[in-house]
Structure 1
Amino acid sequence: MPGTPALELRSVRRTYGLGPSATVALDDVHLAVRPGRFVSLIGPSGCGKSTLLRLVAGLERPDHGDVRVHGVAPATACAAKMIGLVPQSPALLPWMSVLRNVTLPQKINPGAAGRRERIPGSSGRQTAPDAPYLRELLVKAGLGEVMHKLPAQLSGGMRQRVAIVRAFGLRPDVLVMDEPFSALDEFTRESLQNQLLALWDELKTTVLFVTHSVAEAVRLSDTVVVMAPGPGRIVETIEIELPRPRGERLLGERRFHEYEDLVRDRLRRAWHDGAA
């Protein structure tokens, strides 16, 4: 349907526990994301970033409100392979090669392509990617020489790249990423940011990305969504109007640092709001 958001959350509330000890993780959250946008969620610990991500990924359901992915419920979108997930840990199968790990999702749920065709809000990527296409993605991600190795033979950064290629390999309409680079050193992190931006620029998948890094959020995103705790809520949405492609030279430019300062200022306010 023309104009259908890639992601939409309306009046979403999520509570854990019952009675006086219940914790409100998210309350009255509204968010709409246009197709093809790269959106980062950032905020203090306990503000509900990962909860919001799990709701979009169909791993949890809201207690109140509505979550839609291209106009359908996340469970429906997942059944049609419209959603890709990159968790903090790559979660690769240790007995399978890199190539087999990446191609495995294509062999599961073979009816997904037909289901995606019937969803008007989807991107129309109905054809299941073949092995040559996935090999090409691995090469573009700098993994061409290791595609026949086992995960244990790879560095942590390489394993995370495999997880990203596996998710992009589904040609998902929406890709959700939960702090995928948090355990990596700064040099490896910046290298993977480059690889992620290159793949995203080619495929233009809608991305919802959780991070604690202000620099990472500014560099990667079209939009940075600032959240506050107590209860978890969205307090500000900042549009990052920096040119693309965003190479490493951008990190030294004045406008980049101005956006960093702006996001940090809003984060400080979010922190004070949560502590008040």
Structure 2
Amino acid sequence: MKVSAIELDSARKVYGHGASAMVALSDVDLSIGPGRFVSLIGPSGCGKSTLLRLVAGLETADGGSVRVHGVTPDQACAAKLIGFVPQTPALLPWRSVLGNVTLPQRINTAAARRRERIGDLGERGAGKAPPDMLELLRRAGLGEVVHRLPAQLSGGMQQRTAIVRAFGLQPDVMLMDEPFSALDEFTRETLQDQLLDLWDELKTTVLFITHSVQEAVRLSDTVVVMAPRPGRIVDVIDIDLPRPRNQRLFEQSSFHEYEDLIRDRLHRAWRSADAA
């Protein structure tokens, strides 16, 4: 039986105690198959970031379970199965672009041995050569700036560097927390193109947080709609649109139909939360 890349079973997270306790996630069930691109969308306070942090091993569930390729998030992180791209790039300011993206490979040499002990990942990774980071940088449009420091880059270039750095470890699961939210629309769409190219080549499972309905539809195989008070999943919508998804996708009526469907589910989620 094929193991899910990400599996949450009645996952629950509560902050605080007693009367002041706040249920961030309430009995969340979610199963994501290997190689899928899944987006989480919902209003602030619905638990998107909490869910991502549970999968990343940055938080511990108070109930239920969270598994990544059949092991705990801590075990998955130790084997470097998980890559993480936050909202801000968090690059080392004293290292060049190339130095930033190659550093994780040099300091995580034991991860491959841990990966060998996890299900079929060792077999799939056997003999796999590390990626050519210069080639990944070139494909991300950074070939001319590999020796520059982060302060010499635009915001879009810094975020591209962070994405290449995360993909450089060839993670089986990539977690992305609104990585394009601070960028202008043109830069955002350019980075979406480059992200989809890298994802298509490396076959990584992606769990992606966004507040943009358009971005969710364009990128995703599946969009998970969440609602607040308490944080929960209210709908799971599969996006049946052809790939590759280039700019012409925006002209198709089917694309806008999915946008309308997701907005409708978000409005329903808000109404149900207000009535609760």
TM exceeding 0.5:
yes
- 2:208 corresponds to which letter in structure 1? F
Can you give the 5+ residue segments of structure 1 that lack an aligned partner in the other structure?
Answer: none
Does residue 186 of the first structure (1) align with residue 188 of the second (2)? no
Q: 1: distance between equivalents of 2:160 and 2:80?
A: 20
Does residue 102 of the first structure (1) align with residue 101 of the second (2)? yes
For 2:63, the equivalent position in structure 1 comes to 64
Quote the offset at 1:121 in angstroms. 4.5
For 1:75, the equivalent position in structure 2 comes to 74
Q: 2: distance between equivalents of 1:69 and 1:127?
A: 22
Write the mapping of 1:22-171 to structure 2, written as runs, cut at 5 A.
Answer: 22-122=21-121, 124-125=124-125, 130=130, 133-171=132-170
Quote the offset at 1:129 in angstroms. 5.5
Quote the offset at 1:125 in angstroms. 2.6
- 1:164 corresponds to which letter in structure 2? I
1:12-46 deviation per Cα after TM superposition (whole angstroms, max 9, x unaligned): 00001111111100001000000000000000110
Quote the offset at 1:275 in angstroms. 1.4
Provide the identity percentage.
71
Does residue 217 of the first structure (1) align with residue 211 of the second (2)? no
- For the structure 1 residues 127 and 137, does the alpha-carbon distance in structure 2 shift closer, same or farther, using more than 3 Å as the test? farther
Give RMSD over aligned pairs.
1.2
What SS is found at the alignment partner of 1:146?
Answer: coil
Q: 2: distance between equivalents of 1:169 and 1:272?
A: 42
Q: 1: distance between equivalents of 2:120 and 2:210?
A: 28
Contact 1:113/1:128 (8 A) holds in 2: no
For 2:16, the equivalent position in structure 1 comes to 17
- 1:38 corresponds to which letter in structure 2? F
Q: 2: distance between equivalents of 1:121 and 1:14?
A: 30
- For the structure 1 residues 20 and 128, does the alpha-carbon distance in structure 2 shift closer, same or farther, using more than 3 Å as the test? farther
Normalising by structure 2, what TM-score? Answer: 0.97
Matched positions, count: 274
Quote the offset at 1:109 in angstroms. 2.9
For 1:199, the equivalent position in structure 2 comes to 198
**Structure 1 ranges of 4+ moved more than 2 A:** 121-130
Q: 1: distance between equivalents of 2:74 and 2:147?
A: 33
What SS is found at the alignment partner of 2:14?
Answer: strand
1:97-116 deviation per Cα after TM superposition (whole angstroms, max 9, x unaligned): 00010001112232110000
What SS is found at the alignment partner of 1:32?
Answer: strand
1:131-163 deviation per Cα after TM superposition (whole angstroms, max 9, x unaligned): x71111001101011011000000000000000
Q: 2: distance between equivalents of 1:94 and 1:129?
A: 28
1:60-101 deviation per Cα after TM superposition (whole angstroms, max 9, x unaligned): 110001000000000000000000000000000000000010
